[in-house]
Structure 1
Amino acid sequence: MTTISYPPKPSPGDRIAVISASAGLPGLFPLPYELGLERLRKEYDLEPVEYPTTRTMGATPQARAADVNAAFADPGIKAVIASIGGDDQITVLPYLDRELIRANPKPFIGMSDNTNLLAFLWNTGIVSYHGATVMCELGRPGAMNPLTAHSLRAALFTSGPYELTPAESWNDISRDWADPAAFQSEPPMRPAADWSWVNAERVVEGRSWGGCLEILGWLLMADREISHDLSVYDGGVLFLETSEEMPSGAEVFRTLRNMGERGLLQRFSALLMGRARTWSFDRPNSPEEAARYAEEQREAVLRAMRIYAPDTTIVFDVDFGHTDPQLVIPYGGLVRVDGPARRITVTY
């Protein structure tokens, strides 16, 4: 079994690698990207260092992997952050140098398609961080969401326990990144429902694993970065969220069903389910349609868990994933789910 440990943290003034291991979208949408870089410098006192494919759409998997390897190998780089996600990072995995990365551990921050790299680092023995890409969270119009900004700062620079706070307001409606006017004000927020708890009679503490559900489904199909020794997940905290592609309730259930048939769902003692993304440019749902979609997803999750892991503690609508704000979840780090107290504490 791989021993998972926290890599050394950066300090203010350090250099941080910015990579596009999925898609070179900074080249197409410079406005949120440049804003995110500026905030890294001014608000976090970190010096971003771009790699050759960071702004290049269509870069080969080999070239993107070379950037990842180089970022970890460089002793002057103290952390690595993704510019954004994409949909083909799974093709990069075969070209990563696991031993080089294992010998040069450092924090990696990313989400969505970066679930591939997060799972790779878990299997390499390195705790990483699910959340806060440069273009989305750091490049948020107007200002960073305070909950996101505080969580990211704690994840980057501190090593102790951090209690996650339920959001009072949230948003999942995007703006046009090509339009400068979109960056003149913060996105409109709407009231957030509190977390919803199931089987909350106990306290669970374990190492986290999971990420974007669609990406995990792809990894399962390709048989990559999912351990064949399922005992490594025993007693852990599974955390899942869905993307702006908004998979149907049927698809969510089927993916979870397949995880159950593999014997994976049953291994975890708790499940944190991210607040569902309910709007996209392709599917601009009305508030009523959005509420129906979120309820359909919740029922799909509950249906699968009742079949395969009926006693698992579940918390719905935790603020991580493809919604705003976004709390950072340590991937492979300790997570404490206190059902009776209705509290979630992570260790950064």
Structure 2
Amino acid sequence: MIKYPSLHSGATIGVTAPSSGVPVELHELLRQASSRMEAKGYSIVCGETAWMQDKAKSAPARVRAAEFNEMMCDERIDLIIPPWGGELLLEILELIDLDNVQNKWILGYSDISVLLLALTLKTGIATAHGVNLVDLRGEYSDETTAMWEKVLSTKLGESVLQHSSPYYQKEWQHSNPSPCVYHLTEPTSWKTVSGEKVKLEGRLLGGCVDVIRHLIGTPFGDVRQFQKSYIHDEPILWYLENCELNTADLRRSLVHMKLAGWFESCSGIMFGRSSANRPVDNYTALDVYQELAEELGLAIIYDMDFGHVPPQITLINGAYAEVETADGKGSIRQTFKD
């Protein structure tokens, strides 16, 4: 059975950096984000790692793991939101105290998705793939991003509905700050490999392909055991996004997942928008999606609202999802089913 945490008003947010922290020159971003959350009624407990960054990580693995373990066991802290992603979260997995992991939300994406997926697979506790803390520093959030609170407030047995965004951000404009943080200028269009209307349903699992692929073959990547132990052998609906891989590396990663059995008992695959997907010798991301759809005999939706091209829907690892898309628009209904 999946165990779902629940967000309540006035909750305390623990901010720790299990991957990258915030360097000194960007500390103001973290202060702004913390102030915005406090203005919304949350309390903030900022760990030391959030303010640190050196050698591609906030701190040595044991320091990062110790602070994360402490926040997970601290009854005052209701949920954990890292400042952002990074590069080397994988280093701390073997140091996490899985026997004392508490039923509280962890929200994030990018390198944080390694932690999210590993924890859900190992413990059956639902985790939340969505916005990082620093991206909540604006005066307000767009309607897609703002749904994180409603999603995390959903109770066991209830459902929450999210829709495709009206517009997405083509590129970051750090020199042109705006009240919403994101500059949403490009019309959103969810696409399907078949070009037709698609409906998918299954238990959600996923994250950033660049990093979650490294769970394969480890004790933290046993998808089949997760299906047996926690979701009654129900099919998995994968959501995957690409941060930096060219199309050949993306293809290798997906074949690796297939050979490892990750796509067995799979009901479909969803891909987030990506500014990577650089073609190799005219081999495009669409070619990758089409080949995978043919090999697996599954429907694939792509250019969806999650990942490194904002805004993004909040997706819950372990939740039961019903996804529909037609004519470029779509919806995701997640049910917190045990």
* TM-score relative to the length of structure 1: 0.83
Answer yes or no: is 1:190 the counterpart of 2:185. yes
2:43 to 30, 47, 71: 47
Q: CA deviation at 1:28?
A: 4.1
Distance in 1 (CA, whole Å) between partners of 2:280 and 2:331 is: 27
Cα gap change, 1:342 to 1:49, in 2 (>3 Å): closer
Cα gap change, 1:156 to 1:40, in 2 (>3 Å): farther
Answer yes or no: is 1:272 the counterpart of 2:267. no
Cα deviation 1:159-208 (Å, max 9, x = unaligned): 332222111211141234xx6x6357754332324211346677543211
Specify the code of the residue in structure 2 equivalent to 1:253. R
Q: What does 1:19-34 correspond to in 2, within 5 Å?
A: 19-25=16-22, 27-34=24-31
Q: Percent identity?
A: 23
* Count of residues in correspondence between the two structures: 321
Q: In the alignment, which residue of structure 1 is the partner of 2:294?
A: 306
Answer yes or no: is 1:326 the counterpart of 2:308. no
Gaps of 5+ in 1: 280-289
Distance in 2 (CA, whole Å) between partners of 1:291 and 1:39 is: 40
Q: For the Cα contact (< 8 Å) 1:130–1:331, is it kept in 2?
A: yes
Distance in 2 (CA, whole Å) between partners of 1:316 and 1:139 is: 28
1:158 to 154, 159, 164: 154
Answer yes or no: is 1:116 the counterpart of 2:102. no
Task: Tell me the secondary structure at the aligned position of residue 164 of structure 1.
Answer: strand
Q: In the alignment, which residue of structure 1 is the partner of 2:222?
A: 227
Q: For the Cα contact (< 8 Å) 1:145–1:324, is it kept in 2?
A: no
Q: For the Cα contact (< 8 Å) 1:16–1:48, is it kept in 2?
A: yes
Cα gap change, 1:252 to 1:71, in 2 (>3 Å): same
Cα deviation 1:67-124 (Å, max 9, x = unaligned): 11111101111111111100100001111000100xx211110111011210222121
Task: Tell me the secondary structure at the aligned position of residue 25 of structure 1.
Answer: coil
Distance in 1 (CA, whole Å) between partners of 2:309 and 2:321 is: 21
Distance in 2 (CA, whole Å) between partners of 1:10 and 1:187 is: 25
Q: In the alignment, which residue of structure 1 is the partner of 2:76?
A: 76
Q: For the Cα contact (< 8 Å) 2:170–2:186, is it kept in 1?
A: no
Task: Tell me the secondary structure at the aligned position of residue 53 of structure 1.
Answer: helix
Bigger shift: residues 317-326 or 190-199 = 190-199
Cα gap change, 1:32 to 1:297, in 2 (>3 Å): farther
Q: CA RMSD in A?
A: 2.9
Bigger shift: residues 62-71 or 198-207 = 198-207
Answer yes or no: is 1:35 the counterpart of 2:32. yes
Q: CA deviation at 1:214?
A: 0.5
Distance in 2 (CA, whole Å) between partners of 1:230 and 1:298 is: 31
Gaps of 5+ in 2: 228-232
Task: Tell me the secondary structure at the aligned position of residue 72 of structure 2.
Answer: helix
Cα deviation 1:2-54 (Å, max 9, x = unaligned): x32212x23222211111110112544123222211221123x2111111212
Q: CA deviation at 1:345?
A: 1.0
Cα deviation 1:231-281 (Å, max 9, x = unaligned): 7275111000111x2x111111111111112222233102111112359xx
Distance in 1 (CA, whole Å) between partners of 2:226 and 2:98 is: 22
Answer yes or no: is 1:131 the counterpart of 2:130. yes
Q: For the Cα contact (< 8 Å) 2:182–2:310, is it kept in 1?
A: no
Distance in 2 (CA, whole Å) between partners of 1:71 and 1:13 is: 17
Q: For the Cα contact (< 8 Å) 1:207–1:335, is it kept in 2?
A: yes
Cα gap change, 1:298 to 1:230, in 2 (>3 Å): farther
Task: Tell me the secondary structure at the aligned position of residue 51 of structure 2.
Answer: coil
Q: CA deviation at 1:219?
A: 2.0
Cα deviation 1:126-159 (Å, max 9, x = unaligned): 0010011011x2135x64222101x112123233
Q: For the Cα contact (< 8 Å) 1:172–1:278, is it kept in 2?
A: no
Specify the code of the residue in structure 1 equivalent to 2:117. A
Q: For the Cα contact (< 8 Å) 2:273–2:309, is it kept in 1?
A: yes
